[in-house]
Amino acid sequence: MGKRLVITEKPSVARDIVGALGGFTEEEGFWESDDYIVTFAVGHLLELVAPEDIDEKYKRWTLDTLPILPERFPLKPKEGTRDRLRTIKKLLHRDDVENVVNACDAGREGELIFREVVEYLESAKPIERLWLQSMTKKAITDGFSKLTDGTKFDGLSEAAHCRNYSDWLIGMNATRALTRRLKSRSENQAWSAGRVQTPTLGMLVDRELEVLEHSPIPYWRIKATFDQAGTPYDAVWFDPNFKAENDDDKEDRIFEEARANAILEKVKGKPALASETRKPSREAAPPLFDLTSLQREANRRFGWSARRTLNAAQRCYEAHKVLTYPRTDTRALPNDYRAVVEEVIVQLGADERFAAASARLAKDGLLNTEKIFDDAKVTDHFAIVPTGTIVADLGGDDGRLFDLVARRFMGAFHPPAIWSRVERTTVVEEEHFRSREKVLQIPGWREVLPDPDAGSSMKLPPLADGDEANDVPVGPGETEVEADETKPPPRITEARLLSLMENAGKAVDDEDYAEAMKDSGIGTPATRADTIENLISKAYVLRAGRVLRPSVKGLRLIDILRRMNADRLASPALTGQLEKQLSEVEHRSLKSDHFMKEVYDYTKEIVELTKGFEFVDLFPDDESLGKCPLCSKDVYERSWFYRCKEPEGLEAARKLKKAKKKAGEDPNEVPEIVDCPFRIWKDKSGRYVDRRTVRELLADGKSRILDGFMTRQGRTYRGELEIADGEVQLKRVAGGESADDLGMPEYEVDDSPLGQCPQCKEANVVETRSTFICESGLKVLRALERDDTTLFPVKKKEIPEEMTYCPFLLPRTVCKREITRDEATSFVKDGQTPLLQEFTSRRGRPFVATLHLKENGRHGFEFPPRGEGGGKKKATKKKATKKKTTKKTASKKKTTTKKKTAAKKTTAKKTTTKKKTAAKKTAAKKTAAKKADVDPFEPDAPSS
């Protein structure tokens, strides 16, 4: 009987399978038993080839080669993966291997990773699918006992390929087209666009424009304090006959100061009568977590990014086996999972945190089961729940996340929380004041999952017995008028953005409606975190604390797309429909050919719209924003700045100059047309200058105080713009500076040492929540009361005399990538790690590298040779070859150099003057272009 070759997505999963099945011998790059061979990928081993690999003509980014619409989508190995592919190929084509088991993650991306490998390696062997929701030993052995025919997942495979091809087609064509039309000479990043990232950016831009365009309106509120039998209580004036006319109107706001003062004088010291109602309110237990709701809750409670939450959840699933599969969009459990749930609840009772809840559920039984156990709501995966495995001292991000999921799981089976909602109205001289309170009466599920933001203290004792009281006399108290102004809508938090992505841009708070919208969302739960991080790395979005705000570049992109009628690329609803169609491809209700035809048509439409627009048409002179302070002409909006009306013939003269220069003729022959130099650039220290601010500047010479300016270190501050001598200047306003940081991840700690420190060779290297560090260095840092995340060396004068200090330290997060314990152990033992993928540079670009130990005890990067899988030996050979070649040609070069030197000196004298003159002209143009951030011969942006 032949063997089954099992291919997993990651090495850690391969080890878990080997451990669960037993009987394996470890070989080089795989494990083998009598029945199975287990090997692994390292995420995606293959990628779609670049356009220039399809045809040489695509090497240059030109508009005439677009759209790029290949009939086939060839694959190539990703950098650093060739050795892994060779190992898999060798195993895949062994004569004794009869079946191949897809043990990659149970989802669209896991299916794609596996299918790409077997297709690229041209395997025709039968496929079986291992579909795991949990990584416990029992789940693994159960999974292997019921392997599924791989053909049942052909629909999932087609959807995965369609997603991959559509992202390539739309992203590649839109990015090239927009970059050619929008990129300036001073930029080094492309204008990236994509099927998912661009509509996500569009939602952030819409909110940012609302914030920027908001005009604060002053208003006044009247606050009073009354006395009820010796107990003071606060109240706020309101209009019982209020009717809103706009969004700024509220029943407790007074927009005339004189009226507010008149009411204040009217009620001062006058007797008051209070009435109230007390009504119970039921708050049902929240549903179980899917990935998106878990990311939202972790952002709300801990301020975590979506990626940080996903990484912690993935570790809890893979490494600790304490949670089920996290990349799910389902919040229900299958009906046959009830026995497992009851067992898990008992197992969680062994943890003192959950003991009381476990005992209560064992005694009273499980509630809400009709909502939680529902086969109709379960697709490929079910909700994220504990597996019942308890890991002692699980700390850091992983411990906090597990605690959150476990409490939500236990709370879901509890009764509702009962609140008492109190509304009290106090009337003084026919003026009404309101007091409201919500008090927790019966904790219900909140006993398991308390919320620090939910108030429960009694501040309004009953006016009388019963649930109602009318016209009870209360003592008058102090009254004051408080001035305020209307605020713009809040910027979008990461939690809110995840919700908007899930519901295709619609603000959906209703649980049932949100559930119905899921199939039309933007992206998938597994990809939304990467989409957000991608927007940040591409400089389209800035993370400011818990909120996300688009950069000036992001605002420009969406503005241009909408002006050129490419709304669909920036539309959450329409792009959500493509995601819905991918789901239909997966379930075989839509043919993949039909989906791809629509994508090809969509791609052509985007390219034609991008090619066809003229900047002058996108920004017509339809609304004057004020008068130019230099020439008094009307000022209008342009793509990169605001300026006064151009002189007649200026554009034609510029085009003629450019044409002459291209033809090798003298551009100075074109008559010079004097142009007013006044500009208000849309980008000012990282903040977008909107039309309203321009109107203020032109009318008053200065703006109101604005927030959102940014330092080079990424800190935001407030400032004021002012026009002085025809230039727009920024004056910083004291206060309001903030660091935009969500903190570094904290990992669980394994107390066992990794090995002897390679730096001092005296102490051991140990784990902390954020570093791998030498014990002697850690002792010094703790003695200095310094956080061990410090990456700066300790100064000699700081070290206590009785202590020795070793500087060895390896962060557990390097360039946004977690360094695993196995990788750190290699670093400690060998002075370097294996070749590692998925690092992210400061510019947001992914790269592959080996970490090596430097003399100062820190890490450095070694990069593989271009076009090769990486390896120091190959690099060394190349260097050796170069040295030999250099020695052979050295004597020839010396002779040739002597002959040429004399001629060069003579020529150099003649050309020096010419070069200096040309250099000055070029420098002047470059300075102007850099200052303007555009082509010096173009009024706005280069247009190819």
Looking at the annotation, which residues are catalytic?
325
To the nearest 10 degrees (0 to 180), the angle between helices 306-318 and 396-411 is 80
Asked if 788 and 794 touch (Cβ cutoff 8 Å), the reply is: no
Q: What is the C-alpha to C-alpha distance for residues 927 and 942, in angstroms, rounded to an integer?
A: 17
**8-state DSSP, 808:** -
Partners of 847 in the β-ladder: 839
C-alpha 254 chain-centroid distance: 41
875's tokens: 């690099």
The β-bridge partners of 472 are 274
Burial class of 251 by CB neighbour count within 10 A (0 to 12, 13 to 18, 19+): middle
Which string of DSSP letters, residue by residue, matches 358-399? HHHHHHH---SHHHHB-GGG-SSS--B-B-S---TT--HHHH
* Sole residue written with tokens 């996500």: 200
CB count in 10 Å sphere of residue 370: 7
Distances in Å between the alpha carbon of 163 and those of 68, 109, 502, 595? 17, 10, 17, 10
How far apart, in Å, are the Cα atoms of 74 and each of 9, 70, 79, 120, 451?
21, 9, 16, 9, 52
> Among 195, 176, 191, 54, which Cα is nearest to 607's?
176
Question: How far is C-alpha 177 from the geometric centre of its chain's CA atoms?
Answer: 25
Q: Which residues pair with 223 in a beta bridge?
A: 236, 480
Instruction: For strands 680-681 and 641-644, give the pairing.
Output: antiparallel
Instruction: Report which DSSP code applies to 851.
Output: E
Pairing mode of beta strands 641-644, 547-550: unpaired
User: Could you give the angle at the alpha carbon of 20 between the alpha carbons of 16 and 24, nearest 5°?
Assistant: 90
CA atoms within 13 A on the CB side of 888: 6
- CB 201 within 8 Å of CB 540: yes
CA separation for the pair 37, 336 (Å, rounded): 32
- As a residue count, the chain comes to 944
486: tokens are 């209307």
| Strand ranges (E), 456-520 | 468-474, 479-485, 492-493
Write out the E strands in 167-293: 218-228, 231-238, 272-283
The DSSP call for residue 482 is E
Query: Distance (Å, rounded) from C-alpha 213 to C-alpha 691?
Result: 8
Question: What are all long-range contacts of 373-376, with beta carbons under 8 Å and residues at least 24 apart?
Answer: 373/332, 373/333, 373/334, 373/335, 373/337, 373/338, 374/332, 374/333, 374/335, 375/334, 375/335
Pairing of strands 641-644, 635-637: antiparallel
What letter represents residue 273's amino acid?
L
Q: Tell me which residue has tokens 């999921």.
A: 405
Find out whether 378 and 330 touch, Cβ atoms under 8 Å. yes
List, in order, residues 6 or more apart from 528 with CB less than 8 Å away: 292, 295, 306, 498, 501, 502, 522
CB 278 within 8 A of CB 421: yes
Residues 6+ apart with CB under 8 A from 43: 9, 10, 113, 837, 838
| Distance from C-alpha of 78 to C-alpha of 401, rounded to nearest angstrom | 33
- Residue 118 tokens, joined: 């077997």
